[in-house]
Amino acid sequence: MLIAVTREVSRSIVNCELTHLERVPIDLENARRQHHAYEAALRSLGVEVHSLPEEPDLPDAVFVEDTAVVLDECAVITRPGADSRRPETGSIARLLGTYRTLFTIQAPGIVDGGDVLTVGKDIWVGLTARSNRAAVDQMQDFLRPYGYTVHGVPVTGCLHLKSAVTQAAENTLLINPNWVRREDFPGMQFIEVDPSEPYAANVLLVGGTPVYQPAFPKTRARLEAAGLDPVLVDASELAKAEAALTCCSLIFKG
């Protein structure tokens, strides 16, 4: 069984961290409606959803992906790159500790889960303003006994690695080649986003099913042309907080 950890959208989300986007109004009720639809889509795919209550004083807490990296054998609790987000990890660690052995990134390491892409035994970590080489080295030390190889990769033009590349199928990545280099992912096949949709590289793979946003129809056509049949979930309100579909859950085997 797959388990998804999610968290209700905070009433303070209007104060979220922003790096590459201008601040615009966020409709809290619409954001919550979309988030509930996201959780419903996960349930429809057979996922057991553990929805945590909001953190009223932590604007970005809905983006639980950034707090941990959960693998079959263990979980790594992150040390988010934004100081304001570090209090988010405590409740997630308490929950994940009931499922996994935990490791924790320590200073000077910083890493957001949105910078971490895992395919098989390869883990790629985006080297961004939110994640650094010290965290990569710590993760490699934690995970080497389990057979994982951790690669630090440069990212330009976007907040997180998973803004630029995500897993769309077993050995296939959806990628914006202007923000991350194909050659950093040897052995993988690629679907490139449509150039007119630079933010379209974020797809959430649930089991074997891709979950995708309707906001990117040209890239969705490329996914369909590759034989994929995405489930569509609108996350346009949370996108104003520089977020995407992978940001809103931690999905792992129960």
Instruction: Report the pLDDT value the prediction gives residue 96, as an integer from 0 to 100.
Output: 98
Please state, in angstroms and as integers, the Cα–Cα distance from residue 189 to each residue in 12, 182, 202, following that order.
40, 9, 16
**CATH code linked to domain 2-253:** 3.75.10.10
pLDDT of residue 20: 85
- pLDDT, tens digit, 9 for 90 and up, residues 33-56: 999 999 999 999 999 999 999 999
**Sheet of 172-175, strand order:** 165-169, 172-175, 189-192
Ranges in the chain, pLDDT < 70: none
Cα-based torsion angle of the residue sequence 177, 181, 182, 184 in order, rounded to the nearest 10 degrees: -160
Contact between residue 113 and residue 87 where contact means Cβ atoms under 8 Å apart:
no
pLDDT of 253 reads 97
Taking the model in full, what pTM does it have?
A: 0.97
Q: Which of 16, 158, 160, 248 is catalytic?
A: 160
Q: Is 160 a catalytic residue?
A: yes
What confidence score (pLDDT) does residue 239 get? 96
Which positions ≥6 away from 115 have C-beta within 8 Å? 125, 126, 128, 130, 131, 155, 160, 161, 162
From 16, 74, 158, 247, active-site residue: 247
The two structure tokens encoding residue 25: 């109004």
Active site residue 36: no
Provide the pLDDT for residue 93: 98
How much is the pLDDT for 41?
A: 98
pLDDT at position 161: 98
Q: For residue 165, what are the contacts with CB-CB under 8 A and spacing of at least 6? A: 117, 173, 174, 175, 176, 179, 180, 185, 201
pLDDT at res. 177: 98
